[in-house]
């Protein structure tokens, strides 16, 4: 199998993809020499490839000698028809949810090995937790990741974990983790302290397709609002979230029937 893989290698394509994947992890860009060092190659090997990536708009020169990823790849991902449709019909519901709860919310999907935030709605007031659209978030310790896994079969869960783990280290998948996913599926949502930000609770619920499988997760990073009149508490906020995801799940089922 390894020899067969080598036979179909495309060194130039691999080199270009190596550059894009490296720059996607770096804020502030890298010089040609730094790229070469990170990838264990000679700087001269990357001159022509970087020139082409710049000319095609995938990479930009910044500060003269540094190279940084542009938003072109993200734009291509956003043009993917199913994601566009999902964001389109979810956006007004997300806006209404933000107004009702006084909290921000975001929509995430599992796409080709990554958990990606595809839509974000800001909180209507001064305070709220925002995650940039296009961000990759954890499959293992976020509400969105748990919900996306919970509403899949065990076989699909393992496939998602394996695909995600090709580029990301993961903890041992103990029985307790899968038991938690089963509990989430049974109650219909995840509620957990944020593993990234103190004082924040992730409230997450699934948007389900007609077959009952998760196609997206809608999450509210809940913060306690002080001196905000009529701000819903966490229990009320969770009820509003699950009501919204039920509505979106119904729409997803209608959409599937209409396009069948």
Q: What is the pLDDT of residues 46-63, one digit of tens each?
A: 888 999 999 988 888 887
**Position 234 pLDDT exceeds 90:** yes
In this prediction, residues 156-175 reach a mean pLDDT of 72
**Position 89 pLDDT exceeds 60:** yes
What pLDDT was estimated at residue 2?
Answer: 46
What pLDDT was estimated at residue 257?
Answer: 45
In this prediction, residues 126-139 reach a mean pLDDT of 82
Q: Percent of the chain having pLDDT more than 70? A: 87
107 C-beta neighbours (distance < 10 Å), count: 25
Say which CATH architecture domain 2-70 belongs to: Orthogonal Bundle (1.10)
pTM: 0.68
237 C-beta neighbours (distance < 10 Å), count: 22
More confident position, 4 or 118: 118
**8 A C-beta contact, residue 197 and residue 129:** yes
Q: Any idea where the domains of the chain sit in the sequence?
A: 2-70, 76-259
**Position 248 pLDDT exceeds 80:** yes
What pLDDT was estimated at residue 80?
Answer: 61
What pLDDT was estimated at residue 245?
Answer: 96
206 C-beta neighbours (distance < 10 Å), count: 29
Which segments of 45-113 are extended strands (E)?
59-62, 66-69, 105-111
**Position 241 pLDDT exceeds 90:** yes
Of 97, 103, 124, 129, nearest in space to 242 by CA: 97
**Position 112 pLDDT exceeds 80:** no
What pLDDT was estimated at residue 252?
Answer: 77
In this prediction, residues 186-209 reach a mean pLDDT of 91
What pLDDT was estimated at residue 247?
Answer: 94
CATH number belonging to domain 76-259: 3.30.450.40
**Position 85 pLDDT exceeds 60:** yes
**Position 240 pLDDT exceeds 90:** yes
């Amino acid at each position: 199998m390894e020899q067969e893989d080598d036979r179909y290698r495309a060194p130039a394509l691999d080199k270009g993809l190596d550059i894009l994947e490296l720059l996607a992890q770096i804020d502030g860009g890298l010089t040609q020499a730094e790229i070469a060092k990170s990838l264990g190659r000679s700087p001269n090997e990357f001159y022509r490839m970087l020139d082409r990536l710049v000319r095609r708009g995938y990479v930009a020169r910044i500060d003269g000698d540094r190279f940084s990823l542009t938003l072109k790849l993200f734009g291509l991902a956003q043009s993917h028809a199913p994601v566009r449709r999902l964001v389109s019909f979810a956006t007004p519901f997300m806006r209404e949810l933000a107004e009702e709860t006084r909290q921000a919310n975001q929509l995430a999907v599992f796409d080709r090995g990554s958990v990606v935030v595809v839509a974000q709605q800001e909180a209507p007031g001064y305070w709220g937790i925002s995650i940039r659209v296009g961000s990759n978030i954890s499959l293992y310790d976020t509400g969105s990741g748990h919900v996306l896994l919970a509403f899949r079969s065990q076989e699909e869960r393992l496939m998602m974990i394996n695909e995600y783990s090709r580029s990301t280290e993961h903890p041992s998948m103990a029985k307790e983790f899968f038991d938690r996913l089963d509990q989430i599926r049974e109650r219909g949502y995840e509620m957990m302290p944020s593993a990234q930000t103190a004082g924040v609770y992730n409230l997450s619920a699934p948007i389900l397709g007609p077959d009952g499988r998760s196609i997206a997760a809608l999450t509210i990073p809940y913060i306690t609002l002080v001196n905000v009149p009529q701000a819903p508490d966490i229990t009320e906020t969770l009820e509003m979230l699950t009501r919204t995801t039920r509505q979106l799940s119904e729409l997803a089922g209608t959409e599937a029937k209409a396009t069948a």
